[in-house]
Structure 1
Amino acid sequence: MNFKKTLVGLTAFAVFSGAQAEETLSVAATAVPHAEILEFIQPALKENGVDLQVKVFTDYVQPNIQVDQKRMDANFFQHQPYLDEFNDGKGTNLVTVTGVHIEPFGAYSQKVDSLDALEEGATVAIPNDPTNGGRALLLLQDAGLIKLKDESKITATPRDIAENPKNLDFKELEAATLPRILNQVDLALINTNYALEAGLNPAEDALVIEGANSPYVNILVARPDNKDSEAMQKLAEALTSEDVRAFIEEKYEGAVVPAF
């Protein structure tokens, strides 16, 4: 793909903003699409006085720990419900800097080609963290497979299922492992970043997927002591530029949706 026009636009943003003494900003991210988006804006931020250093993580815990312990300046991998749950559970005080994009959550299978084809007692794998597990169950509820006791509970677990007509057997597993065990279960609910890393195309491969109005916007996260720093605000501005919008729309073709 040719991103010449968007790169020119980001360079113009950098020149307009004016070159300043370089400041290093370290950001923890999952590989796809977060690190890819960050790497796209690195050249423009460099011209604008920010040396953006991206470190890729494969889990959803360490990026927050690293920022809280001041080993990294920020992270870019999660949505607000996950951050709220993490702060409550770990006693941290990480904060949102800006929202960037939505990754519509989907259900995938290598054994059936529709949800209707799921048999009695089919095995369904969902993420084992509270917010993504609840998100998976809400999606299955919207698809008519189950009904929850509280139909809007975003941290629901299989214990909160009130109706399960097909007696689906739920397995709660680490989110990053779900693409790897897809051939071992009948259905897996997979975060889009991990689906993309595994070569899945959410727009084509998902049997059911969230709409673009999903409330799970992926956010840039920092600490209260650095969220308003000049370098952080430059990063936030770059992440929500029209050039990044064009990059997301062209590269991910609907699997990732700008939220600004």
Structure 2
Amino acid sequence: MKIKAFILASLLFLTNLSANDKIITIGATPVPFGEILEFAKPLFKQKGYELKIVEFSDYSIPNKALLEGSLDANLFQHKPYLDEFNKANKTDLQAVLSVAIFPMGAYSRKFKDISELKTGSSVAVPNDPTNESRALELLEKANLIKLDRKVALKTPLDISSNPKKLKFKELKAAQVPRALEDVDLAVINTNYALDFGLKPLKDSIILEDKNSPYANFLAVRKEDVNSAKTQVIKEILHSQEVKKFMLEKYEGNIIPTF
């Protein structure tokens, strides 16, 4: 009986292992990546895989979940953010596929043109290193501030000139849209802007252009760079079906990089 039980348990283990080999789990922010992956589910099914999507609203979690093994990949970040995460945590997650550029924008409920920004105005920016630096670079490009170019990742402490004496409020990226009613200007990542009902091309008063270096990448563990699952994900995310969906769904607010 013990032998039969052992054989049965072994068969169940192998069956579950085989089943798990056909499940791909990807972590993503709800909008737009969660929507893009939801659209792609049938494409994964055609390849013989079941796609499971785990949505995150906090940038600090998906990379940790990937490292812990609960995800096969994640899709939410640009490479400077991943590089900073790897450096800070002494990890080696890999960016394996550029998917799209989501231009960061500045928004306001109080005025419609950046020229209306008054001296002493309050500005909300993301507080994680790369997105805060990116937000400040956007403000510099609009001639609102000047930054110390010797510093790679900039914070308000690295502002060398602030003629309008802007006051900065540093918040988690997901919280910045909620601050719109309380500040004069908010610099918001596109995925959170879309999630909040904002349309970058229509509603922003400053917007990154198509030459932005901040493309978003699919990330995996180093040992999975060449895995069968990673190859399937890459093939599907760079398919013409996904590209067409992004162009039609987001009306140019999200720009495919392929």
> Structure 2-normalised TM-score?
0.90
Alignment match, 1:223: 221
What letter is aligned with 1:79?
A: H
Q: Which residue of 2 aligns with 1:248?
A: 246
Q: 1:174 to 1:253 in 2, by over 3 A?
A: same
For residues 90 and 194 of structure 1, the distance between their equivalents in structure 2, rounded to whole angstroms, comes to 25
State the alpha-carbon separation in 2 of the partners of residues 174 and 105 from structure 1. 15
Letter in 2 for 1:129: D
- 1:109-156 residue CA offsets vs partner (Å, 9 max, x unmatched): 0011111111111000100001000000000000000001117x5511
The letter for the 1-side match of 2:169 is: K
Aligned equivalents of 1:99, 1:54: Cα separation in 2: 19
2:50 alignment partner, SS class: strand
Q: Give SS of 1:184's match.
A: coil
Residues 136-151 of structure 1: pairs in structure 2 closer than 5 A:
136-150=135-149
Contact 1:131–1:154 at 8 Å: present in 2 too?
no
Separation (CA, whole Å) in 2 of partners of 1:124 and 1:30: 24
SS state at 1:167 partner: coil
Given candidates 178, 183, 189, the residue that maps to 2:176 is 178
SS of equivalent residue, structure 1 residue 116: helix
Alpha-carbon separation, structure 2, partners of 1:44 and 1:202: 29
2:181 partner SS: helix
1:78 corresponds to 2:68: no
One of 155, 159, 169 as aligned partner of 2:157: 159
Contact map agreement 1:149 1:161 (CA 8 A) in 2: yes
- Aligned-partner Cα distance in 1 for 2:221–2:128: 22
Query: Which contiguous aligned blocks of 4+ residues in structure 1 show a shift greater than 2 angstroms?
Result: none
Gaps of 5+ in 1: 1-20
Separation (CA, whole Å) in 2 of partners of 1:187 and 1:226: 41
Q: Match of 2:120?
A: 121
Alpha-carbon distance in structure 1 between the residues aligned to 2:257 and 2:98: 7
* 2:41 match: 42
CA-based RMSD: 1.4
Alpha-carbon distance in structure 2 between the residues aligned to 1:154 and 1:239: 31
Instruction: Report the Cα distance in structure 2 between the residues aligned to 1:55 and 1:238, rounded to whole angstroms.
Output: 18
Name the SS for the 1:88 alignment partner: helix
Instruction: Determine if contact 1:145/1:165 at 8 Å carries over to the other structure.
Output: yes
C-alpha contact 1:138 1:154 (8 A) present in aligned 2: no
Measured in 1, the distance between the counterparts of 2:41 and 2:105 equals 30
Q: How far apart are residue 227 of structure 1 and its match?
A: 2.0
Q: Note the 1:194-205 alignment, pairs <5 A.
A: 194-205=192-203
Are 1:32 and 1:196, in contact at CA under 8 Å, matched by a contact in 2? yes
Gaps in structure 2 of 5+ consecutive residues: 1-18
